Amino acid sequence: MALTDYQTALVTGASSGIGAATVQMLAARGLKVHAVARRLDRLLALKECGDVVPHALDMQERDALYDVLGDLDVDILVNSAGVGSQFDPFQELDPDKIDATLTTNVAGTVHAVRAVSPGMVAQGRGHIVNIGSIFGLHAISTAVYGASKAAVHRFSQDLRHDLKGSGIRVTEVSPGRAATEIFATMTDDAKAQGAMVDGFEIITAEDVAEAVVWALDQPWRVNVSLIELTATEQIPGGVTIHPVTSR
């Protein structure tokens, strides 16, 4: 079931980065795109790309999420909404920011799927794309963010079992460092933000959106389960040795 078989998409986190790039590409392919994010002004700007319907919504507000998304009839859901965790050591993290990360990245993703999947099941077709991260596949750093994206990975894998026989495909796209605004959600320190992108050319939001569209555009018999997407010079994993003082 290629993109030509779909008519309507829903993209969360649509006001910037991967979400905005995905909205633009899907609208350019002739789809009606429901764009969801908190910043209405940015969503309104996306209407220039094509048939884009803005919805100002905070993914942490569960009841509002169901009120808005539950009434939409969509063929495609792209869960791109997400925030980063702080760079600080885990034991120093702000508990409110821990909750914001887990609620947005995990609960927001799960509830968005729960809101729209009954309509997909009823029509016997659909495609759910969850934006994960290599932080959810490899032990790198930022335990809370990594845990949230590991949950997205497991959710995506198990969701395929739950939806077996429904005609709905499930894809997870897990990018490495990408040129988006997510680093600003991790720290206010401009130097620390710069350190995340210095030293090699990182992938762009458009690179990730292209991967999303490619997965959506496969024939129905093909389910692209997982795409891991990194910059050429970014290799996840490895060992870091820290000196330990004597006790």
Query: pLDDT per residue over 128-176, tens digit each?
Result: 999 999 999 998 778 999 999 999 999 999 999 999 999 999 999 999 8
What number is the average pLDDT over the span 88-116?
93
Give the domains, in start order, of the chain with CATH numbers.
Answer: 3-228 (3.40.50.720)
Reply yes or no on whether the pLDDT at 190 is more than 70.
Answer: no
C-alpha to C-alpha distances, 134 to 130, 142, 151, 211, nearest whole angstrom: 13, 12, 12, 15
Q: Is 145 a catalytic residue?
A: yes
Give pLDDT, residue 121: 97
Model pLDDT for residues 12-46, shown as the tens digit of each residue: 999 999 999 999 999 999 999 999 999 999 999 99
Q: Which of 6, 135, 145, 155 is catalytic?
A: 145
Whether the predicted model's global pTM rises above the 0.85 cut: yes
The answer to whether 36 and 70 are in contact (CB under 8 A) is no
